[in-house]
Each structure stands twice: as C-alpha cells, then as structure tokens.
Amino acid sequence: MKSTKNKSAQEILSSLTIEEKIRLLNGVGSWHTYDADKKIPSVMMTDGPHGLRKQEDSQVDINDSAKATCFPTASCIANSWDLDLIKEMSGAIADQALQEGVGIVLGCGMNIKRSPMCGRNFEYFSEDPLLAGSLAAAYIDGMQSKNVGTSIKHFACNNQETRRQTSDSIVDERALREIYLRPFEIAVRNTQPTTIMASYNKINGTYTCQNKKIINDILRDEWGFKGTVISDWGAAVSIVDCIKAGLDLAMPDSHGYQIKLLLDAYQKGEITEQEIDRACLKVIEVVLKTTGVKKTTVDYKKTHDLAKKIAANSAVLLKNDGLLPLSKKQKEILIIGQMADDVRIQGGGSSHINAFTSPNAIEALSRKGFKVKYVQGYPGDDVVEITEPTEIQRMAQEAVVAAKEAADKNIPTLFFCGLTNRTEGEGFDRKDINLPHEQLSVINKIIEMNKDLIVVLYGGSPFAVPFADNVNAMLHMYLAGEASAEACADLLTGAVNPSGKLSETYPLSEKDIPCAGNWGNDSPGVEYRESIFTGYRYYETFDVPVKYEFGYGLSYTKFKYSRLEISSASYNASDADEAIGNVGANVGYGEKLSKSKTNLKVKFTVKNSGKVAGAEVVQLYVKNPASDYLRPVKELRAFTKVYLEPGKSKKVTIELDSKAFSLYDVSTNKYIAPTGTYEIEIGSSIKDIKLKKSVKVKGVKYERDDKSKLSSYFRKIKLFTHADFVSLYGKDFPVDEEPVPGTFTIYNSFSEAARLNKTCKKILDKVIERIKTENRKHGRSDNDPALKIVIGGLTENPLEAMILLAGDDFKRNRADFIVNLVNKKRFAALKSLWSKKWD
C-alpha cells in the first residue's frame, strides 16, 4: 500500500488518473470499494442493520454469512422508543464490524410505513416521521461514535416491494417533505450519516439515483449532507445520469459495464472531469473515514445479554385480563404452537443475520422452573405446503385435547403464533393482514373451550387478531432477535415489566388502510393519494376505528399523570423556518432546539402508582387548530421514556419551539406555523390522553387557494380520486405507462418484455424453471422466501440492472436482443446476439 497517511482526500484525488477515478465510482465485488492500485485503502461494507451480515464474495446464498449477534429488528426496537438502547445496540454492532474488518454497515432502514402490508416493514421503524427519524439518528450516533460508517436507507419513498426496482412513487410536495423525507432530514441534520443509500424506485417520474432534486438539491444543498451517496445494489441504472445528478458510488461491481459507459461518456464530452471528481472525492473521503480504525474483540455473551435487554424493552403487552405475569405458584404450563419451538427472531432477505443459537421458548420457560408440556398445534412454515391435510387436522385435534385438559386442571395455556417468513419478507408484499390460516383454525378451536389463553405473537408488521376478545392475554414479541425466547420468559414471569408501545397502528381491516387501492398494485405508477394522511394521521383525522392505536401498550404497573403546566398561554412562532432542522422539542434529537427564550416549557409529573417498577413512554401530541386546509388532527411532537420504581414520581419538562406547530408550505417552500389555538396533549398513547392544555400560537396567517379543489380530501379517503390527486399534486403529473412495442428500452424489465412478446415469455419461464429446479435440489420449496427475492430480481429489475448484477450470465448484448425482439426488430435482435461490442 502506498501510504495515504497525512494525505488529504483532495491530494489523493489529484494523484489518480481519469481511468482510476472512474473505476472508483463503482464497487469491487459485492462489498468493497476500489483501491486504485493500492493508492488508497478499500473499505468493506456489509448488510445490517440489526446485526452484521458479513459475506465473502464466494458466499452467494443470502443466508450464508459469518456468525453474528442477531438483535431485534427495526420494527421491534422501535416499540421501545428508547434512544439510548438503540445507541447501545448499534454501538455493539459497530464493535462486531470492527472485529470483522468492516468499515460501513448498510443500515439503518428507516422508510415510513405507508402500508402495514409492505413485506419489508420489519426493517423499518414507524409510520411517524419524528419517531422514525429520531430512532435512526440514535442508531447513527451509536455506530459512528465507534468510527464505523452507516448507510441510511432506502432513500426515499421506497414504500412497497411490489415492482420495487421500477415502481414510480408519485408523491405531492407536502407529503414528500412532511412525511417521506422528514425522517431522513432529521437523521441528516442531527447526525450526518456517513453514507445514504439511494433506493431502487423512481420518485415523481425519475429514478432516485438519477434524481437531482432529491440527491443534490434537497439532501446536499438544503439539508447540508456532507457524506457519500451510494446506490442500492443494482439501482444505479444509466450511470452517467446518476453521477451527474449527485450519486457518488454505484454498487456492486458491474464487471466493467458502468466503467465503460462512464469512459465513453467522458471521451464524448457528455460528462466532465469536474463531475467525475466531485463524486470521486466523496468516495475517497468515506474510505479515509472508515478504514484504519482499531479492531476490537467482541464478548458475544455480553452482546447476547444486550440483545435480550433490548428485546424485553421492546415487546408490547397488548392485552392482560389478569393472567400475566404468570403466578410464582404455578408449576406447570402448556405450550401450544410450532413458533414456540422454532421462534421467529428476524425477517428474511438481505438483513438476515446468521445468528448464534439460543434457547427456544420451551427451553427458556423450562429454565424458569416450569414443567412444560409442548404440543406443536400446526405445521412449520417451511413444511406447511407438503403437510397432508389429515396431518394438519391431527395436530389441531391434539392441541385442542391438550388445551381442554389444561383448562380442567387450571394449568395456564400459552399459544404461540404469528406471521411467518412466507407471509412477509424482502421482495414481496402481503396481500392481506391475516395470520396463516392453519394457525387461526387451531386457535379458534381452542378458544371455544379454553378462554384463559395467553397468546404470544410474532411478526414484523401489524396483523389482524380476530381472537383478541376471547383470550386472556396477548404479548407481542415482534421479531426480537436471538434472545427473543429468553426475553419472552422474563416478560411472562414478570422478571421484566413490559414497556413497549406500538410505533405503528394496527388497523381493523386492510380496507381501512389509508392507501388501500393505491398501493402494492401491479402498475408502474403508485399514486400517494392519501398525501400527508399516513398511519394515525389518517385514522385520527377521519375517525376510522382501529384495533390498536399508535403509541398503545400495557404494563404490569400503573402510571398517573398530573400537574400540567405550560410556561405561557400564548406563543410567538414567527421563526418556524429557522427551526427547520429541529425536531421541535428538547427531548430525543432536539439538541438543536431554538435558543429562543420564548420556547414553550411544558411541565408535568408522572408517577408509578402500582406495585412493581416499570417504564412509561410519555408522548406529547399537538392537536392542530381546526382548519380548512389539509392538516392531520394531531401529530406526535415529542416523546421520552421514564423509568420509575413503585411509588416514585418524576417531573418531566419538555421544551417546544415553533417546529412543533409547523407544516410545509409548498407555495414558499418553507416550514411555517399557522396562527391558531393548538392543544398540547400528554398521553400514554395517541388515544389515551392524560393531560391537555391549549396554547394560542401567533404565527403565519395561512391561506390556501385550493380549498374547493381539495374538498374531497376532507371526506373519507376512499373518495380520493385520480383527478383530486392530480389537482393536489399541482404540477406536471408524471405519466407512467406500460411500455409497448417500439418504446421498450433496457430500462424496462423482463416481466414487461414477457407480457409483450411470446419468445421473451418462453425465455423467462425457462430461466425461472431452471432456478426453481436448482433450488429444489437443495431441498427448498418453490415458495421459499429467498427464492422469491431471486425471481423478483430477475423479473422486476430493469434489464440494465440485470447486466450490473449478473456479470457474465447476462451481458448487454442479451439485453439488446430482448429490447429489439420486443420492439419487433428481429434482424437487429439477432445481430445484437452476435455483437462483441460489450465483451
């Protein structure tokens, strides 16, 4: 290595040839940057985010990686609302990265949960931008404090897995700013993540990696992002446009293809050396920042214990009619449910951690001193398709008999169930919010004769619990990592008091979801017609009943709230735009709160009035004044977690600045706080408001001239029409049409080609069959979630992305062949097959 010591990024850049500079803009192998013939170090990046997924280039199976601690997934830890805990977690992941020589962990995932049915929601935090942004900022802080880089993802509007590589998220400016970009803005302005990963999808007609407005104008110029923008794996199609728009690094290695495109463009004068230097400098900077950090040695026992602590602090107690915690006098318990034996600890896909083994729920509860009887109840996810119906019935019957016997003998019965790897995962969306039917049919039979059931739930996103009224207790573990079962045993026995609160709403039905009908469809354009009314913003504003509301969760103790004081009954909020970088409060990531003396001080007391110690997530909502413009009825503006011994109380002070009353005004491109009477609400959930007081805000007189155009937005969301949305959008509306022969390009996908051309369909079917046959040889079923990702990639990626990802297996001449075939240019198609131009 020619030493880079004491050399600035700029000096290194000056020492590179144009070829080296261009080569630096594309990865080497799956996970490394280029070392410019040893002139600079190469940094390794690996997936996370809830552990380290370090793969060698030779390891192609997504589940094959070095062993690492598997922490709770994002959707699980989000329920802790605990910023310190998440910092501890990412710090521990950073230690493992350092031990393994990894410089950047690809995380955290932080997209807004537009629909609870997005297959990848388990990798994301919340439906609320303040909560998602604050948790992400904590994750970044924890990791970067150990000098390991982060890559927050997937920037942005990547809110569904259906057609994830090509779908166009059509979002109006206000929803874009207030909902979908806001969490990233909080993270960037407060913590400067090392890198940010640009997503696969398009935003308002342009692929994110080529989206100058998103990458350059907003992320860099407005928010002041100083780090490096990298592409999601295979997302940098049309590389020249990407670099010009502000992308710095295209991942992974395109086996020379992108280098050739860039060199050609440079030689033709289509991209300048300055444009290449700009991106190159960002790559060198990140390499210098994330290499040469001292290694650490990890104590895996300690990290396992941390994983257990986080899991226990994140689980949500949804119901308790008195059977929990289990009585100390209880000697025997009955456990029903295959998921107790094979606990689902994480989701599938690129975030899959090769976890250390740990006890399952049967073992963990046995260790607590119970005599455990276990009955499987239903087949496991991986064999359900090949299990005979008679065998499924036999299992159910066995469970019913055991549950009846337990009820007769007063032995507590625990039923374990939840979403499985086949129901949710990367690369596909859910079609409904139901649990697998084989689980539901058993529980329905059991509750007919045993109403004292305790249910333990798993899953990375909300699902329907039609049995809730007929069981005694429900503890939701989410996807709680390798120590899930031990944490569960601690919670069930009361060794730990549950303190998680839902970071997302549980709807009653999929029909109630705000984007229902306008999400996850097999169409190129996705209209975000519900605009700013995501999650609770919709349910609360339009009075739609839900099963469990945002912020909900029970405890084994009780908390009393009292003595709300607000420093002033009126507030001058004229500085809203100055407060743009703030989160609006002094708690969490509110360190940058306006220094103004006029900040509102909200004070109140929380007391643990029960008999056991516990923690309460205190939520501050601001109820907005009634208005004739679009505005959610209330919004989360601050939160903090308070730990209290029994009988103890704590005075909480939350300072608010004008950001807590603001909205994004699209006519001035600024945050403004409209004048009006607001209500400060302190709650234990969004519905369970304990204290409130109003405050008169003197801000901007906010008048919109689109009241009549938007009138239907004030009625039920189902009435939002395409025409309404076009007028709300207010600019040239992106036209997303399926390609037809003559318009097909390498930026279209194989599945689109197959729809248009019989030969392409035959080729695609054949390739899919070959992949399935190979998969079956490894004893895996055609419904295997990892297989779904591979087939999804093959069918949905733009053809150019396949060139980037497939190496020798799919070169440009094959893509050209397909393009020409679809465009009915048969001779050109054959010619492209023989072409050596791209070899």
> Which parts of this chain interact with ligand BGC (CB under 6 A)?
47, 106, 153, 232-233, 350
State the nearest-atom distance from the C-beta of 197 to ligand BGC, in Å.
Answer: 7
Taking alpha carbons only, the member of 681, 684, 633, 627 closest to residue 656 is 681
Q: How far apart are CA 362 and CA 352, in angstroms?
A: 24
Q: Which helix (H) or strand (E) holds 77?
A: helix 74-77
Does 469 qualify as catalytic in the annotation?
A: no
Residues 6+ apart with CB under 8 A from 747: 237, 238, 798, 799, 800
Backbone angles phi, psi at 155, to 5 degrees: -80, 105
Q: Which of 232, 665, 784, 816 is catalytic?
A: 232
* Alpha helix segments (H runs only) across 413-547: 437-449, 484-493, 536-541
Taking alpha carbons only, the member of 631, 710, 717 closest to residue 678 is 631
DSSP-derived pairing of the beta strands 614-623 and 676-683: antiparallel
Measured from the CB atom, is 120 or 537 closer to ligand BGC?
Answer: 120
Measured from the CB atom, is 61 or 84 closer to ligand BGC?
Answer: 61
Q: How far apart are CA 818 and CA 833, in angstroms?
A: 9
State the nearest-atom distance from the C-beta of 423 to ligand BGC, in Å.
Answer: 19
Q: How far apart are CA 100 and CA 472, in angstroms?
A: 46
Measured from the CB atom, is 122 or 233 closer to ligand BGC?
Answer: 233
State the nearest-atom distance from the C-beta of 412 to ligand BGC, in Å.
Answer: 41
Q: Which helix (H) or strand (E) holds 418?
A: strand 413-418
Measured from the CB atom, is 47 or 616 closer to ligand BGC?
Answer: 47
Measured from the CB atom, is 122 or 589 closer to ligand BGC?
Answer: 122
Identify whether the C-beta of residue 665 lies closer than 8 Å to the C-beta of residue 712: no
Peptide bond into 625 cis (omega under 30): no
Taking alpha carbons only, the member of 403, 274, 412 closest to residue 332 is 412
Measured from the CB atom, is 106 or 237 closer to ligand BGC?
Answer: 106
Measured from the CB atom, is 316 or 804 closer to ligand BGC?
Answer: 804
Task: Please count the other Cβ atoms lying within 10 Å of the Cβ belonging to residue 266.
Answer: 19
Beta bridge partners of 525: 168
State the nearest-atom distance from the C-beta of 46 to ligand BGC, in Å.
Answer: 8
State the nearest-atom distance from the C-beta of 196 to ligand BGC, in Å.
Answer: 12
Place of tokens 């004008």: 658
* Alpha helix segments (H runs only) across 778-811: 785-796, 799-806
State the nearest-atom distance from the C-beta of 229 to ligand BGC, in Å.
Answer: 14
Three-state SS for 642? Answer: strand
In one-letter notation, the amino acid at residue 355 is A
Q: What is the CA radius of gyration of the chain?
A: 27
State the nearest-atom distance from the C-beta of 49 to ligand BGC, in Å.
Answer: 9
Phi-psi region of 455 (alpha: psi -120 to 50; beta: other; left: phi over 0): beta
Q: How far apart are CA 574 and CA 295, in angstroms?
A: 49
Identify whether the C-beta of residue 188 lies closer than 8 Å to the C-beta of residue 144: no
In one-letter notation, the amino acid at residue 382 is D
State the nearest-atom distance from the C-beta of 198 to ligand BGC, in Å.
Answer: 11
Measured from the CB atom, is 198 or 281 closer to ligand BGC?
Answer: 198
State the nearest-atom distance from the C-beta of 635 to ligand BGC, in Å.
Answer: 29
Residues annotated as part of the active site: 232
